[in-house]
Each structure stands twice: as structure tokens, then as C-alpha cells.
Structure 1
């Protein structure tokens, strides 16, 4: 799509394709981040803690949200930088076997004073396929203006 700043419509919504969380996904994130807490690596430990099995790291879910959004190809050639994530809330655990997707909508935009670009704000939600909200967050990005 290659949305430029001028193309962003406040209130416009997008939904990504789904992704099934696997034990291997969680194990890969454990290895990548060096966070091998037993909630993420030991099913018996996780069950004793009240979960149905191992759970994904909250930061894995947040990173996956960005990856799933990227698959929409909204800013393939127009994205300049992520300026950060605000108000991140982990609402429910992400469990191996969950099928998830992202709902995203534009909530604000403003000019950037120092570049030929604009700053956009997205409300981003990681959802389980049964409609359960897993992670709720706000993402701020810098994207190009039309040439």
C-alpha cells in the first residue's frame, strides 16, 4: 500500500492475518532474549502457577504485533522510524496453541517539524481468535510525506 502521511485517515482500521503461537516460537524467543524463566519453558511449572501451559513473554507478543502489522505492508517504502510504544497493557496470557491476529486503527497524526515527514499514532491490539484482548498498546511512527 505504501501509505504516506497524507494518506493516513484517522479512524481507519486494519486487521492482520492470523498466526498460531507454538512452543517453538516461545523457545526461540527464550533463546534470542536469554530469558528462560520457567513460565516460558517448563509446562509443569506454568501449570502450577495457574496457566494451562507455557506462556509467551509479554514482549514476544508486543514484537509479534509489530511483525503482523508489517505483513500488511502499509509502509513498505514510507516508514522512517518507530518512535515508541505507549500504554502497553498485557491483558491476558498468550499460551502456546493460541491463534492470534492484530487489530489496528489510526488515532492521531501531526506534522513533524524537522523532516519531510509526519508522526502517526496507531491503537494496536493483539487478539486471540475467540475475541479475547491479549495486549493493548499505542504505537507512534514517523512516516514520509509525499514527494
Structure 2
């Protein structure tokens, strides 16, 4: 049996690539759910340098009327990282830039909450040879409550010859 030579460029999670014109308003990309454990809080504190006790001292939090440690807003935002899902694998050939990100924090997230992030196409702004794909970012908790909403915007190439 003769094996074909290995080509690293063909080693892709998603072989079929997408371009700006392949996206549709309302298309949804679910990201993996994650329970906010003590370990996740510790990792975020180590990575961010955050040192406010509301994010790492459970007794401080209880003394201030909270049931447990409160997640830092950025700890919640990072749950919407597109790289956790399929979107960046779909646009490996067409992605030109991650342009911006914004978020609004609607409800607190505590240790033990399970978060369900998602991205949904809510903007398609064409240019001559590229276009901006806007994604509404949402994070719901285990009770179905929306705890974060925001936006991501990406600049994608159009398919060659479609300009």
C-alpha cells in the first residue's frame, strides 16, 4: 500500500473554507459550555494579575452579600472567544483581521455557574474585495438568563473573482 505524502496544509478541522459572501444573517455558532470552577477563577487570576478579593476570597464575598466569588467581567467575556468554536476554522483562508469586540455585563456570574456562549451573525457589510462580518455574542447561565451580550467584528476576504 503506497501512502500519499503528508501535507500539513490539508490537516484542517473544517476542510471546506468559507468567504464573506458565504455567511447569512442569523447564522449561529454555539461555543462549548463551561462551569465556572474554582480552578478557572484561579487560572484567570494568575493570567490577569487581578488582585481584588471579590474575585478570589469567598469569605470577603459572603461578607458583602454574595453567595460565592464573583467572576471578573473579562473572565466572562473570554467565554465568547471565537477560537473555542468552529468559526475561525471556517475562515482560515479568508480571515484578514479581528477588528473589534465590545461587551455589556448584565448579571453577575459566580463560582458554580455554567455558561453557554454563542455567536450569531448580525452584520454583513460588503466592501470591494472583502467584507465585515459582525457577530452578536451572548452568554447565558444555567437558568437561561442572559449574563453578557456584545459584538465581535471580523474582516473577511471575498472569494477570488467575486469582487
TM-score by length of 1: 0.86
1:3–1:74 CA contact under 8 A, matched in 2:
no
Offset at residue 23 of structure 1 (A): 1.1
Q: Secondary structure at the match of 2:96?
A: strand
Q: Secondary structure at the match of 2:87?
A: coil
Residue 4 of structure 1: aligned partner: 19
Q: Which runs of 5+ in 2 are unaligned?
A: 1-13
Q: Which residue of 1 aligns with 2:4?
A: none
Select the structure that is richer in strand: 1
TM-score by length of 2: 0.79
Q: Contact 1:103 / 1:126 at 8 angstroms: preserved in 2?
A: yes
Once the 2 structures are TM-superposed, how far is the Cα of residue 17 of structure 1 from its aligned partner?
Answer: 2.5
Q: Which runs of 5+ in 1 are unaligned?
A: none
SS of alignment partner, residue 25 of structure 1: helix
Which residue of structure 2 aligns with residue 16 of structure 1?
Answer: 31
Any residues of structure 2 matched to 1:1-147 within 5 Å, and which? 1=14, 2-66=17-81, 69-76=82-89, 77=92, 78-86=94-102, 88-112=103-127, 116-147=129-160
State the Cα deviation string for residues 41-87 of structure 1 (Å, max 9, x = none).
Answer: 10011112222101111011111211xx323222221333221123x
Deviation at 1:13, TM superposition (A): 2.1
| Aligned mates of 2:95, 2:54 — CA distance in 1 | 35
